[in-house]
Amino acid sequence: MSAAPVAVVTGASRGIGHHLATALEHAGYAVERGSRSVAPVTDGAAVERWVGDIIARHGRIDLLVNNAGVIDAEVSIMESDPDQWWETIEVNLRGPYLMTRTVLPHMLAAGAGRIVNINSGAAYRNHDLATAYNVSKGALARLTAATGLNAVHGVRAFDLAPGVVRTDMTEAMDAHRDRTEWTEPAVVAELLLAIASGELDEWNGRLVRAGVDTPDSLKARAAAGLAESDRTLGLLPWGADDPLT
């Protein structure tokens, strides 16, 4: 059984997941790195076997980082391929759902745990390209908020938007073809480690963004008070007389 805190990171064989898993290892975590060859996150049976093996070897999971994700072609809905569109939803939403659903009972039994979903600003804006990615990330934000309701039992959830880190995926995107400024992986790791340590527990159920937020700025903002809807996905009413307010 592991004396060190145990972190599970999906999609950790390359890109952001690799950077985050390495940062956690350097911080003293026993890290289980997920990949398609280990356990495809969309395969419920494979996820259960993998998580079961981790629990059998370590006896605990303290941190789950749902990082595995893909993006669909940067085309409009009319030009999109239905199979690729749905596969993107499956990886980006069903994957975190299955991982969360499988890991959560162990965290609840321990009375503690944190789940971090790697999200994106695409969840919060309207855009007519790569719509499956945008839809999946918006839905992921709702999953994060719902999972965060388990804070009363000691388990918290967070959306972490990494900005634009230079990876194989982002370099292949038309949207970043001429980009010269990238978010450094160390900045993303700094926020993840702050979340994992409990420093940012007031941000449970909410979004934090690397490259804009820092642990200090987030702690200061939380100390000043957070409204129920701050940094969450929701309906914007037209004013005080909107019957939906």
* Domain housing 124: 6-224
pLDDT by residue for the chain (245 residues), tens only, comes to 878 999 999 999 998 999 999 999 999 999 999 999 899 999 999 999 999 999 999 999 999 999 999 999 999 999 999 999 999 999 999 999 999 999 999 999 999 999 999 999 888 888 899 999 999 999 999 999 999 999 999 999 999 999 766 666 765 666 667 666 766 888 999 999 999 999 999 999 999 999 999 999 999 999 999 999 999 998 889 999 999 87
Give the residue numbers marked as catalytic.
Answer: 133, 137
Tokens coding 141: 């934000």
CATH number reported for the structural domain that contains residue 158 in this entry: 3.40.50.720
| Closest to 43 measured CA to CA, from 107, 99, 116, 100 | 99
Q: How many domains does the chain have?
A: 1
Q: Is residue 231 part of a domain?
A: no
Can you tell me the distance from the alpha carbon of 20 to that of 38, in angstroms, rounded to the nearest whole number? 18
Q: Looking at residue 205, what DSSP letter applies?
A: T
Q: Is residue 166 part of a domain?
A: yes
Q: Is residue 1 part of a domain?
A: no
Q: Is residue 238 part of a domain?
A: no
Q: Is residue 39 part of a domain?
A: yes
Q: Is residue 233 part of a domain?
A: no
Q: Is residue 99 part of a domain?
A: yes
